[in-house]
Amino acid sequence: MRRTLTIVVSLLAILFISCSKPVPPEARKAPKTYTEFGHTRVDDYAWMNDASDPGLIDHLTRENAYTAAMLEPTNDLQKKIYDELVGRIDPDQSSLPVMLNSYWYYTRFEKGQQYPFFCRKKGSQTASEEIFLDVPALASGHQIFMIRGYSVDPGNSRVAYGTDTTGDRRCVLRIRDLSTGTDLPDVIVNTSGNYAWSNDSRSLYYVLNDPTVRAYRVMRHTVGTDPASDAEVYAEADSTFSVRLGTSRDHAFIFIASTSTLASEWRAIAADRPDVPPVLIQKRQPDMLYAVAEHAEGSFFIMTNRDAKNFKLVNAPVMSPGMAHWKDVLPHRPEALLESTEVLARFIVSQYRVNGLTTIVIRDRTTGTEANVQFSEPAYVAGLSLATDRYDQDSIRYTYTSLTTPRSEYRYDIPTRTASLLKRDRVPGFDPSLYTTQRVWVDAGNGVRVPMSIVYRTDRFAHDGSDPFLLYAYGSYGANSDPYFTSSVVSLLDRGFGFGIAHVRGGQEMGRQWYDDGKVLTKKHTFEDFVACAQYLVNERYTSVDRLFANGGSAGGMLMGAVINMRPDLFRGIIADVPWMDVITDMENPALPLTTLEYDEWGNPANREHYEYLLTWSPYDNVKSARYPAILATGGLNDTQVPVFSPAKWVARVREHNTGDDPILFKVNMGAGHAGESGRFERQKLTALKYAFMLHLLGVNE
């Protein structure tokens, strides 16, 4: 094996020296035939699905060598962009403190550190600081280090925390004694990173993963005992559901939420009685979602889509919480998607989505009157939060950001309806007055209008078709692609790029129906919306087809694969981050992570109607002989969400069928998972590489 690899690398070196242009690696073929519902599919690269095949690592290594050789002329540009990206990161970045159980909690960075310190102060923000998780020290010696979740016990003396050192989402649970700063002997592996404590601070609840990394089994651990004796509290037998834990703000209940794409089921455990089995709140029903928003005044407040497409808020007595006893608190609003809500003693504060923009609405519980928090920019996103866990508070916090406004946090006093800025992220060297942001509506056909958010530097964007443009989208799972400020994009804007976000169907920007119109048997709407937005940019002379780039990651990377099969002529280049491409084959394999959880998202290919629809758009199955644009795909060897073989196979197939001469590149992180590098500076290197890839195609090297 080692000798073979050495020979291959040596031959490549000879090729790179002797040729004026590096030669792309040629993946070996081992055809596998699939016959389903009278259709025949042939996968020449199915061997890559086997992670134990010794040829896979060799092939990925050669892909990295080819990408490095092709982008070698951009090394200086990459370094320059990297320095710009790091230079816009606040070296002393910190979060606003939040009061939980008598302590103010926050995170902060120190200059030069990749990772934050998790800190708290007792009672007052002027009290002495306690660092309860020194992440820079914990991360020492690891390429990847993530705190996936943590929970401090009600006695404020211990913290349970989960670490992931590979990026594969399998967390090691440890318990730290906060008085000594040392970890207890209790160590539990393969947890989801989701933890909750009983009120006696002795019982710790956690969730185990199954072999597909589905969080499915809730366990109760007694501190100081052998984890082998831990008690099972709940196990989710339906492989289309996953499990997570939550707690009520008043610490009275621990919740077990079992959820799928279209249905959910919650259980409650009295936090004072950890030995009592959980109580079912409402049995799962087809196509009915619900979630406990809060416990207060002897009732559960519940968000649900029962008889409410865009969700509503109901409540029910704790002693009889089933839907027969649900009473409307915030009625359904057909024009507004209810996204979240906070129940306070005097007010109910809710976050809605209206015409693609977030709105915060405050209702007086005594009078029933409502007031909206006011926002002014044409494209923005706001987020509701609370500063403390007190039930009787009369103020809220909210975050606000836009394509030209760095993340800002406000305190909003409800009685006076006044907002005061508490903190705005520092972005060294950024002047928002130099940039213009727009929100446009794109005709996608059949009366559908798709919102798109746009930003460019006013003095460097001609708007005459000569400018380069990067268009981003996601469009799946009901996840919104909001117009957040992203400091890295400034490096493109300052070089004359425009940047846009297409809010395509499959997200929920325009309400729940927007999501329903972009999944399973309507999934192609997502791709059609993106193509319509890209064509709009060309038609309206924001850019031209030889200067238009597109980017998406994961399911958004899959979107990239679908749209270039549809319109390879529309783009100069595509960046597909950790893209999921072999949709049908993966969805036929329930042993893969996420497959069983997502039948209601993509369809189940065991169903003929679903299969034949998937066959019309699956990116891998629809690669054709065409002049494809330049492509840069990325992957992670430890990725358990999009296994590395998915982009690897797709790149090989596109390269084989490409009739053009633009490069098809694949950059693999051999030590990371779906999220890539975990350090705040280290992750900027990939961004710099992606930007340099686009600029180099345009002949820009500075």
Q: How confident is the model at residue 597 (pLDDT cuts 50, 70, 90)?
A: very high
488 part of a folded domain:
yes
Helices 684-697 and 75-87 cross at an angle (nearest 10°) of 130
413 part of a folded domain:
no
Percent of the chain with pLDDT over 70: 97
To the query of whether residue 516 is one of the catalytic residues in this protein, the response is no
401 part of a folded domain:
no
Shared-domain flag, residues 181 and 69 = no
Q: How confident is the model at residue 702 (pLDDT cuts 50, 70, 90)?
A: confident
Please tell me whether residue 411 adopts helix, strand or coil conformation.
strand
Residue 6 pLDDT? 39
292 part of a folded domain:
no
Average pLDDT rounded to a whole number, residues 34-39: 97
Helices 54-70 and 645-657 cross at an angle (nearest 10°) of 60
Task: Say how many C-beta atoms besides its own lie within 10 A of residue 440's C-beta.
Answer: 18
Residue 4 clears pLDDT 60, i.e. is over it: no
Q: How confident is the model at residue 376 (pLDDT cuts 50, 70, 90)?
A: confident
Residue linked to tokens 């996936």:
148
pLDDT in tens, 616-661: 999 999 999 999 999 999 999 999 999 999 999 999 999 999 999 9
To the query of whether residue 674 is one of the catalytic residues in this protein, the response is yes
Number of domains, the chain? 2
CATH classification of the domain holding 579: 3.40.50.1820
Shared-domain flag, residues 461 and 527 = yes
Shared-domain flag, residues 77 and 165 = no
Q: How confident is the model at residue 613 (pLDDT cuts 50, 70, 90)?
A: very high
Shared-domain flag, residues 82 and 120 = no
Shared-domain flag, residues 555 and 443 = yes
DSSP for 431-451, please give it.
Answer: -GGGEEEEEEEEEEETTEEEE
Shared-domain flag, residues 135 and 81 = no
Percent of the chain with pLDDT over 90: 96
Shared-domain flag, residues 640 and 549 = yes
Average pLDDT rounded to a whole number, residues 174-190: 97
Shared-domain flag, residues 80 and 205 = no
Shared-domain flag, residues 502 and 539 = yes
Residue 386 clears pLDDT 80, i.e. is over it: yes
Average pLDDT rounded to a whole number, residues 39-58: 95
Q: How confident is the model at residue 17 (pLDDT cuts 50, 70, 90)?
A: very low
CATH classification of the domain holding 234: 2.130.10.120
Q: Which of 221, 251, 610, 674 is catalytic?
A: 674
Distance CA 565, CA 567 (A): 6
Residue 18 pLDDT? 41
Which residues are within 8 A (CB) of 145 and not within 5 positions of it... i.e. 6 or more apart?
A: 115, 135, 138, 139, 163, 164, 165, 678, 679
Average pLDDT rounded to a whole number, residues 587-608: 96
| Closest CA relative to residue 579, chosen from 515, 683, 511, 666 | 666
Average pLDDT rounded to a whole number, residues 662-688: 96
Residue 10 pLDDT? 39
Residue that is last in its domain, among 280, 296, 312: 280
Q: Are 348 and 329 in contact (CB under 8 A)?
A: yes
Residue that is last in its domain, among 223, 245, 280: 280
Residue 27 clears pLDDT 50, i.e. is over it: yes
Q: Which of 260, 639, 646, 696 is catalytic?
A: 639
Residue that is last in its domain, among 229, 247, 280: 280
Residue 20 pLDDT? 67
Distance CA 399, CA 484 (A): 11
Residue 544 pLDDT? 98
627 part of a folded domain:
yes
Q: Residue 135's domain spans which residues?
A: 109-280
496 part of a folded domain:
yes
Average pLDDT rounded to a whole number, residues 503-512: 97
93 backbone dihedrals φ, ψ, rounded to 5°:
-55, 140
Residue 186 pLDDT? 96
Q: Which of 453, 491, 554, 678 is catalytic?
A: 554
pTM, full prediction = 0.94
Residue 636 pLDDT? 97
pLDDT in tens, 336-370: 999 999 999 999 999 999 999 999 999 999 999 99
Torsion over CA of 516, 517, 523 and 526, rounded to 10 degrees?
A: -120
517-524 contacts, C-beta under 8 A, 24 or more apart: 518/475, 518/476, 519/476, 519/600, 519/601, 519/602, 520/600, 520/601, 520/602, 520/603, 520/610, 520/613, 521/603, 521/609, 521/610, 521/613, 523/602, 523/603, 523/613, 523/617, 524/562, 524/616, 524/617
Distance CA 546, CA 465 (A): 10
pLDDT in tens, 461-472: 999 999 999 999
Shared-domain flag, residues 69 and 134 = no
Residue 701 pLDDT? 87
pLDDT in tens, 486-500: 999 999 999 999 999
Shared-domain flag, residues 484 and 570 = yes
Residue 13 pLDDT? 44
323 part of a folded domain:
no
Which residues are within 8 A (CB) of 540 and not within 5 positions of it... i.e. 6 or more apart?
A: 440
Shared-domain flag, residues 77 and 117 = no
Terminal Cα-to-Cα distance of the chain (whole angstroms) = 42
Distance CA 622, CA 625 (A): 10
Mean pLDDT of the chain: 95
Residue linked to tokens 């846009």:
500
Average pLDDT rounded to a whole number, residues 239-259: 97
DSSP for 234-254, please give it.
Answer: EE---TT-EEEEEE-TTSSEE
640 part of a folded domain:
yes
pLDDT in tens, 421-457: 999 999 999 999 999 999 999 999 999 999 999 999 9
Helices 2-18 and 54-70 cross at an angle (nearest 10°) of 20
